[in-house]
Amino acid sequence: MHTFAGEKVNGHCPSVDVLFESVAKECGRDAIGVILTGMGYDGAKGLLSMRKKGARTIGQDESSSVVYGMPKVAYNIGAVEKQASLDKIPQTICSLL
């Protein structure tokens, strides 16, 4: 079993927020961020950072989410540019390219 060194962020290690913050910093507008079903709020602030740096962002919609926690928080804070059902996310990504 692999363990990760580092502090927990939002109660998680690794954290989606840490990943998205890194993408925002390193890739800026040359990135697309997608947040999928999940509990809590990890990833929402990082996705917002990506959007503020010009990245395109997608959130899974409520009807196709098992748990609409993470995508809901991201949507509510303005991090999600487009919402799509799980089966439409690949098509949505292609439309943004």
Could you report the average pLDDT of every consecutive run of 10 residues in the chain (97 residues)? 60 78 97 95 96 98 96 98 98 96
Alpha helices in the chain (DSSP H): 16-27, 44-52, 70-76, 89-96
Per DSSP, the three-state class of 30 is helix
Query: In the chain, where are the structural domains located?
Result: 16-96
The region that residue 16 occupies, defined by phi over 0 for left and psi between -120 and 50 for alpha, beta otherwise, is: alpha
CATH assignment of 16-96? 3.40.50.180
In this prediction, residue 2 carries a pLDDT of: 53
Q: φ and ψ at 56, to 5 degrees?
A: -90, 145
**Which of 48, 6, 60 shows the shortest CA–CA distance to 23?**
48
Global pTM reads 0.87
What type of residue is 70? M
Distance CA 93, CA 32 (A): 8
